[in-house]
Amino acid sequence: MRIAFLIGALLLCQPEQAGIHAQIEAVARKARGRVGVSCSAPGTTVDCDYNASEKFPMQSVYKLPIAMAALDAIEHGKFALASEVRFLPSDLISPDQRSPLRDAHPKANVEVRIDELLKLALVESDGVASDILLRQVGGPTGADKYIRSLGIDEIRIANTEKELGRDDGLQYRNYATPRAVVSLLRRLADDSPLSREHTAMLLNWMTITETGPRRLKGKLPNGTVVAHKTGTSGQNRAVTNATNDVGLISLPNGKRLAIAVFVVDSSAPENVREAVIADIAYDVWVSASHQP
């Protein structure tokens, strides 16, 4: 009887999965570029994989694994949240790259606490803050090694924000597959490699982030909790190389949907690119919410 029930449940799920894939494909065409999607929700069969094993430039999405590497270093006694680090003139990044820290201290030469750097990197996607944290964990090599230690092999951290600002082509070296990012998000949600305190701190910063209000969150019901990290490139000859958002979205049953949506090399305007992410997130959220 149990086997028959499971087979029946699987057959019932197949049309629903076909439906969500068709919805994602239809929405993705509007991007006029390359779109990658992956998701996971505990206790459901939701499957939204769409180019999920392809490589996409992360842009500022990579600030999430960098922040995790910094918190891991804290837990191993290398420095503390209250430790102060010098913001050096050599840390300054291109004027067209986002950095509230640089805007507040255009000549640099100030001490900044590690917890403030983490908050700036995650809440305001501050490039200078991210680079200073990266320096503390041994540069891109150190952060990349940390992510690999978690058993996640399809996320690559190869360059600093400063280097990315000097050469657009480098962003394709700092890549992730949507599936790998979802694996990282699931670790945070279900079996975090960080302490309970640091995990809660990290997710809180991701929840109050000021970036991307019209992406994953754009069409979800009011009050839906979204802990996320965006990534955005500049434009290159009327093509935007990366418009991304990844995160954990609360479901009505209290569980969390992990989702990653990447829009790459798109000729569509910003409002369309962001609407693509919002529409996909909403469709997946509905599908996951309606499963037992």
Distinct helix (H) and strand (E) counts, the chain? 10, 9
How far apart CA 15 and CA 130 sit, in angstroms, is 43
Calculated CA dihedral for residues 288, 195, 152, 258, nearest 10 degrees:
10
Contact (Cβ atoms closer than 8 angstroms) between residue 265 and residue 202: no
184 Cβ partners below 8 Å, 6+ apart?
Answer: 64, 65, 68, 147, 150, 152, 155
Q: Is 90 a catalytic residue?
A: no
263 Cβ partners below 8 Å, 6+ apart?
Answer: 31, 33, 34, 35, 240, 242, 243, 244, 273, 276, 277
Contact (Cβ atoms closer than 8 angstroms) between residue 93 and residue 129: no
266, two tokens: 């798109």
Catalytic residue among 60, 233, 250, 289: 60
Contact (Cβ atoms closer than 8 angstroms) between residue 206 and residue 88: no
- In the numeric block, the tokens 């409002």 are attached to 271
Among 263, 253, 257, which residue's Cα sits nearest to residue 285?
Answer: 257
55, two tokens: 């490589």
Strands (E) across the chain are located at: 34-40, 56-57, 84-87, 110-113, 175-176, 226-232, 235-236, 239-250, 256-266
How far apart CA 215 and CA 228 sit, in angstroms, is 10
Just list the catalytic residues: 60
